[in-house]
């Protein structure tokens, strides 16, 4: 075997296999002069900084327009967010103050402010929001480059069939690559939900991130395979490995063609039972992918995405974001979940005190009810956006009925104020609750009398039922969505919804796991909401199973004592059908 063959393991950030020649992208950090500025030069230094902001904004606007034409508005949205960061008055004014007060260069003052901002984001215990640091760094890099009079990096010199290997790659850089020359990406840092990864997925570029040392060790020009399914990079692969991945790539291309031809097939089981397949969306730009992948609605729109900046967005900003989504999906429904801040999500944007157990603390609906102005602004934005299609309101982290009643009060007030002000809106949006706290699951029968729909938030329901933190790696082996205790609660929720004749869906991650989907359907959950990318494969699973089998398996699962036993009976009974629906790599491969 070739002695220089090396495998780098990272995180699978965008699926597919790419084979090409490495282009090792050297990061050129613009210099940050540490000298002091003479008092007489302070005004000029301040102007140099504000001029740089204007120039970078112009360039980002040009990128946005070009990306809009080449890749559509969903990707272009990312640059809207960057423009908003560039327009942040607080960042600008604080930088100007530092230039004046400390006599620092514009570069040094701006770098200082951005370092503080990035550190703040990095501490957030939420992978998605932490990943927004990439956008901040992108902006910082562009402004510093502009201030130092330099040009952006040499990605323009790329040849065809290139795999870019970089320590870090900015979202703007990836978006400018396009698909003509670049086959795939390998990035040493970051996670699967960074904007760079999001763009890579939207562009369909197989990507592995978090490879740590690949950019230092892989030489430009050497052959590289990016395995975006497994999160592995093969540098200088020997002939058998290359042969294996070439044939694997052909197999995947065939699979993609098949799935795309089958996109419009109905989401029904073999015995013709309709299962509604919806999309979870975290960012407005995901809506197009949701639609093109056949989503029959948005099952949950997490609204935390609007809270990436320093300040909370106002009613108008929220209205515009929700309206875009509701309009695009019309006449299909869009379930807008009200703010689920706190716990592991961005509590820094509100005034909260440190807590010993944030997951059990001031979060979700609790924050909203305690800060009625914040909550009412969001409700008004939703009621206004509902005019453009079909919007439903979903309350997170509800643990007792009193919270629903109080939320109804705020909704009624919001509607009355909009009516008094003559603002177009809909006051009759359906109101549902996330069932993600055991108390809500156990008393689902009472909840069902008081709300229009249920959405099972199993990501949280599992952690609260099993007392296993969803974000702690040490106990990850105990985090088991198929644990019969969780299944009993889900059954209770499904039965309560059915008795009251209201819909019960699921928006937790377990819905995209084929074995779990079978059990959920068997328990009576006939509406599944998953990430847009997961929809086509899940539809294949649905089309391969019978409701009868699912019901029997679910009943049997409730008699078992562990999640692994549940998985085993599903495999034994319908493993072959699942495998046909969602083929995995052949056994005995070269890896």
Residues in contact with ligand PEP, counted by CB under 6 A, come to a total of 9
Rounded distance, CA 377 to CA 554, Å?
A: 42
Residue 129 CB, shortest distance to Mg ion, in Å, is 15
Rounded distance, CA 186 to CA 536, Å?
A: 26
Task: For CA atoms 102, 108, 110, 113, give the dihedral sign.
Answer: negative
Residue 513 lies near ligand PEP (rule: CB under 6 A) = no
3-state secondary structure of 281: strand
Rounded distance, CA 375 to CA 415, Å?
A: 13
Query: In the annotation, is 507 catalytic?
Result: yes
Give the one residue of 64, 132, 195, 302 binding ligand PEP; rule: CB under 6 A: 302
Nearer to Mg ion by Cβ, of 189 and 486: the residue is: 486
**N- to C-terminal Cα distance for the chain?**
13
- H or E, element range at 498: helix 484-500
Nearer to Mg ion by Cβ, of 460 and 480: the residue is: 460
Q: What share of the chain is helix, strand, coil (3-state, %, to 5)?
A: 55, 15, 30
Residue 457 lies near Mg ion (rule: CB under 5 A) = yes
The angle that helices 73-86 and 195-203 make with each other, rounded to 10 degrees, is 160
Q: Is the distance from CB of 86 to CB of 139 less than 8 angstroms?
A: yes
Query: What's the token pair of residue 438?
Result: 């055991």
Residue 460 lies near ligand PEP (rule: CB under 6 A) = yes
Q: Which of residues 431-450 bind Mg ion (CB under 5 A)?
A: 436
507 binds, among Mg ion, ligand PEP, none (CB under 5 to 8 A by kind): ligand PEP
* Torsion angles phi and psi, residue 459, rounded to 5: -55, -45
Residue 480 lies near ligand PEP (rule: CB under 6 A) = no
Nearer to ligand PEP by Cβ, of 460 and 540: the residue is: 460
Residue 129 lies near ligand PEP (rule: CB under 6 A) = no
Residue 460 CB, shortest distance to ligand PEP, in Å, is 3
Residue 458 lies near ligand PEP (rule: CB under 6 A) = yes
Pick from 471, 459, 468, 437: which is nearest to 344 by CA? 471
Contact segment (CB under 5 A) with Mg ion among 45-53, 78-86, 230-238, 452-460 equals 452-460
Contact segment (CB under 6 A) with ligand PEP among 33-41, 415-423, 438-446, 456-464 equals 456-464
Annotated active-site residue in 25, 71, 195, 579 = 195
Residue 73 CB, shortest distance to ligand PEP, in Å, is 25
CA-angle at 253, arms to 571 and 7, nearest 5°: 75
Contact segment (CB under 6 A) with ligand PEP among 66-74, 195-203, 454-462, 483-491 equals 454-462
Nearer to Mg ion by Cβ, of 130 and 384: the residue is: 130
302 binds, among Mg ion, ligand PEP, none (CB under 5 to 8 A by kind): ligand PEP
Rounded distance, CA 125 to CA 361, Å?
A: 15
Give the one residue of 315, 436, 540, 549 binding ligand PEP; rule: CB under 6 A: 436
145 binds, among Mg ion, ligand PEP, none (CB under 5 to 8 A by kind): none
Please name the residue ranges forming H helices in 337-400.
365-370, 372-385
Query: What's the token pair of residue 147?
Result: 């201030």
549 binds, among Mg ion, ligand PEP, none (CB under 5 to 8 A by kind): none
Query: In the annotation, is 25 catalytic?
Result: no
Residue 459 CB, shortest distance to Mg ion, in Å, is 5
Q: Which of residues 310-349 bind ligand PEP (CB under 6 A)?
A: 340
Residue 171 lies near ligand PEP (rule: CB under 6 A) = no
The residues with which 453 forms a beta bridge, in sequence order, are: 432
The residues with which 335 forms a beta bridge, in sequence order, are: 392
Rounded distance, CA 129 to CA 127, Å?
A: 6
Rounded distance, CA 70 to CA 51, Å?
A: 29
Contact segment (CB under 6 A) with ligand PEP among 114-122, 134-142, 453-461, 582-590 equals 453-461
Residue 237 lies near Mg ion (rule: CB under 5 A) = no
**Residue 72, by phi and psi: left (phi above 0), alpha (psi -120 to 50) or beta?**
left
Nearer to Mg ion by Cβ, of 82 and 463: the residue is: 463
Rounded distance, CA 345 to CA 349, Å?
A: 10
Give the one residue of 67, 411, 504, 507 binding ligand PEP; rule: CB under 6 A: 507
Contact segment (CB under 6 A) with ligand PEP among 209-217, 251-259, 415-423, 458-466 equals 458-466
By CB under 6 A, name the binding residues for ligand PEP. Answer: 302, 340, 436, 457-460, 507-508
Report the catalytic residues: 195, 507
């Amino acid at each position: 075997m070739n002695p220089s063959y090396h495998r780098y393991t990272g995180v699978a950030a965008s699926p597919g296999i790419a084979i090409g020649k490495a282009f090792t992208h050297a990061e050129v950090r613009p210099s940050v002069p540490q000298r002091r500025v003479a008092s007489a030069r302070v005004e000029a230094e301040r102007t140099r900084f504000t001029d740089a902001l204007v120039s970078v904004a112009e360039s980002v606007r040009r990128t946005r327009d070009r990306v809009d034409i080449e890749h559509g508005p969903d990707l272009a949205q990312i640059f809207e967010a960057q423009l908003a960061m560039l327009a942040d008055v607080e960042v600008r004014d604080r930088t100007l103050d530092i230039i004046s007060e400390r006599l620092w260069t514009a570069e040094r003052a701006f770098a200082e402010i951005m370092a503080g901002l990035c550190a703040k984001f990095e501490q957030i215990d939420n992978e998605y929001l932490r990943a927004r640091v990439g956008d901040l760094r992108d902006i910082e890099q562009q402004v510093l480059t502009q201030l130092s009079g330099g040009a952006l990096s040499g990605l323009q010199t790329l040849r065809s069939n290139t795999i870019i290997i970089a320590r870090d790659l900015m979202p703007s850089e990836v978006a400018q690559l396009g698909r003509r020359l670049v086959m795939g990406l390998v990035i040493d840092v970051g996670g699967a939900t960074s904007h760079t990864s999001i763009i890579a997925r939207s562009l369909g570029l197989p990507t592995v991130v978090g490879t740590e040392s690949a950019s230092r060790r892989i030489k430009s020009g050497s052959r590289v395979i990016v395995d975006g399914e497994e999160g592995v990079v093969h540098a200088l692969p020997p002939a058998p490995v290359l042969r294996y991945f070439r044939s694997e790539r052909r197999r995947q291309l065939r699979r993609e063609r098949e799935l795309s031809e089958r996109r419009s097939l109905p989401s029904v089981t073999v015995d013709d039972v309709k299962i509604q397949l919806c999309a979870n969306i975290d960012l407005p730009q995901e809506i197009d992918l949701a639609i093109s992948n056949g989503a029959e609605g948005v099952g949950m729109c997490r609204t935390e995405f609007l809270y990436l900046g320093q300040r909370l967005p106002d009613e108008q900003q929220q209205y515009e974001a929700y309206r875009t989504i509701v309009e695009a999906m019309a006449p299909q429904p869009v379930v807008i979940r009200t703010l689920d801040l706190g716990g592991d999500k961005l509590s820094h944007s509100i005034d909260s005190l440190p807590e010993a157990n944030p997951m059990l603390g001031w979060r979700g609906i609790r924050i909203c009810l305690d800060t009625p102005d914040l909550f009412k602004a969001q409700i008004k934005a939703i009621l206004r956006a509902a005019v453009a299609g079909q919007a439903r309101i979903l309350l997170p982290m509800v643990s007792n009925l009193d919270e629903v009643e109080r939320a109804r009060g705020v909704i009624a007030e919001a509607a009355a104020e909009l009516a008094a002000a003559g603002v177009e809106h809909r006051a009759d949006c359906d109101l549902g609750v996330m069932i993600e706290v055991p108390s809500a699951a156990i008393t689902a029968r009472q909840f069902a009398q008081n709300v229009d729909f249920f959405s099972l938030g199993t990501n949280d329901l599992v952690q609260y039922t099993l007392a296993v933190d969803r974000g702690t790696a040490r106990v990850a082996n105990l985090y088991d969505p198929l644990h019969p205790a969780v299944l009993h609660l889900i059954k209770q929720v499904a039965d309560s919804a059915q008795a009251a004749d209201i819909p019960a869906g699921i928006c937790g991650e377990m819905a995209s796991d084929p074995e779990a989907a079978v059990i959920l359907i068997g328990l009576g959950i006939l509406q599944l909401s998953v990430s847009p990318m997961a929809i086509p494969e899940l539809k294949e699973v649905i089309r391969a199973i019978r409701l009868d089998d699912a019901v029997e398996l679910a009943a049997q699962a409730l008699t078992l004592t562990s999640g692994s036993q549940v998985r085993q009976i599903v495999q034994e009974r319908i493993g072959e059908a699942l495998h046909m629906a969602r083929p995995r790599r052949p056994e005995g491969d070269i890896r």
